Amino acid sequence: MIDITVQKRIYLSSPHMSGNEQKYIKEAFRTNWIAPLGPNVDTFEKDIAAYTGVNEAAAVSSGTAAIHLALSLLGVEKGDTVFCSTLTFIASANPILYLGAEPVFIDSEPETWNMSPQALEKAFMDAALNGKLPKAVIVVNLYGQSAKMDELTELCDQYEVPMIEDAAESIGSRYKGKPSGSFGRFGIFSFNGNKIITTSGGGMLVSNDIEAIHQARFLATQARDPAPHYQHSKIGYNYRMSNILAGIGRAQLEVLEERVEARRTIFERYQQELSTLPGIQFMPELNETYSNRWLTAMTIDEHEAGVSVSDLIEGLAAENIEARPVWKPLHMQPLFRDVQYFTHGEKESVSERLFANGICLPSGSNMEELDQSRVINCIKNLINVKEVERKIV
């Protein structure tokens, strides 16, 4: 029997279609462009390049594929090292392993939760001392918040190491007015189903280097040489985006600004309602940056709040609400047990603290106000109940 007392599930971040997607999909069917190329792919690439303010973009099957291509284009190979933010999803670093290279992880700093320039400088100094600079630095913009791009770019320039901006979570964000994804030699976006705009699955590689993006398209289509027969001189991949999915992407990009506004409104309401509770602090927004607030993230001081991150996640799950811990830092992953890691402070690891205390709340732009009230009330109850219990004791 169906349990009718179960409340509607509230997801962390679910796809939000505009309605216009069908128009571009139908056009693909009408013209029989059912392939990993076609007019939707071409237009989506042009639209993303224009939106990001870069010269060229290549639509691919995922954000992970875009990172893999960027690293390949920078010549990363076996025995090389690549610096990477530690506080991120595993997909930022997996492509380093695909190429047989080794990651070195860099801690976060507290103002953006992103790569610490201080830790990056330590890592560069150490690498220079050992006579082995990294081939690239992958900088992540967590949950939509831009990293400290001025400081990080200056360091990368100083050591002449190219930056890849992992903007998988930050399309629509800006740093000093400049769009996310446009910093560094390459930028990458993800259109996974949980992102602020989606193609169900997909990604984009962007750059001002037009020749490099042409080369990316070549690598993404099995690196087929220009010969009358099938000839291949390099390792290639099957990484292009389908013309049908690019149709979804075109319609989604048309509503990106609305989606950003909706997510920012959700963040602001959470902040208004919850920041006065004991021990709660919201992810900051650095001056002169504009975050798409892909996910609302906050930290909980267990001693002050009386509840831990896992208490909150369990309490919300009991109400059929999905919440998640902040990404587990990559240097703490069993996969990267023996990998080098540089901290922000002398000993202080900011990413470990954020992981221990951080939680992401449901943030989908299609959330109704009542859904958000459910989340807020549930959190208030969980924290207040604990407070009352503590007072009684």
Ligand X SMILES: Cc1ncc(COP(=O)(O)O)c(C=O)c1O
Where on the chain is the footprint of ligand X (CB under 6 A)? 62-64, 88-89, 91-92, 140, 166, 168-169, 190, 192, 203
User: 97 or 133, CB closer to ligand X?
Assistant: 97
Residue, CB closest to ligand X: 63
In whole angstroms, the minimum distance from the beta carbon of 61 to ligand X comes to 8
Q: Is the dihedral of CA 242, 246, 249, 251 positive or negative?
A: negative
Helix axes 149-158, 117-129, angle to 10 degrees: 10
From first CA to last CA, the distance across the chain in angstroms is 42
Q: By C-beta, is 277 or 326 nearer to ligand X? A: 326
For residues 10 and 323, what is the distance between their CA atoms, to the nearest angstrom?
A: 9
HEC states along 301-365?
A: CHHHHCCCHHHHHHHHHHCCECCEECCCCHHHCHHHCCCCEECCCCCCCHHHHHHHHEEEECCCC
Phi then psi for residue 17, to 5 deg, are: -80, 155
Rounded Cα gap, residues 346 and 339, in angstroms: 18
Query: Which of 66/305 has CB closer to ligand X?
Result: 66
24 or 189: CB nearest ligand X: 189
| Cβ distance to ligand X smaller for residue 21 or 166 | 166
Q: Are 62 and 203 in contact (CB under 8 A)?
A: yes
From its phi and psi, is residue 172 left (phi > 0), alpha (psi between -120 and 50) or beta?
Answer: left
For residues 309 and 358, the answer to whether their CB atoms sit within 8 Å is yes
CA 91 → CA 61, 232, 305, distances in Å?
Answer: 13, 28, 33
| Min CB(60)–ligand X separation in Å | 9
Which residue, 189 or 341, has its beta carbon nearer to ligand X?
189
The least CB distance from residue 91 to ligand X, in Å, is 3
Q: Supply the minimum distance, in Å, between the C-beta of residue 129 and ligand X.
A: 30
Residue 289 CB, nearest distance to ligand X (Å)?
17
Distance CA 61, CA 361 (A): 28
Distance CA 197, CA 199 (A): 7
Nearest distance in Å: CB 345, ligand X: 24
Closer residue to ligand X, CB minimum distance, 92 or 145:
92
In the complex, least distance from residue 204 CB atom to ligand X, rounded to whole angstroms: 9
Closer residue to ligand X, CB minimum distance, 152 or 307: 152
| Secondary structure, 3-state, 142-162 | HHHCCCCHHHHHHHHHHCCCC
Tell me how far, at minimum, the Cβ of 174 lies from ligand X, in Å: 18
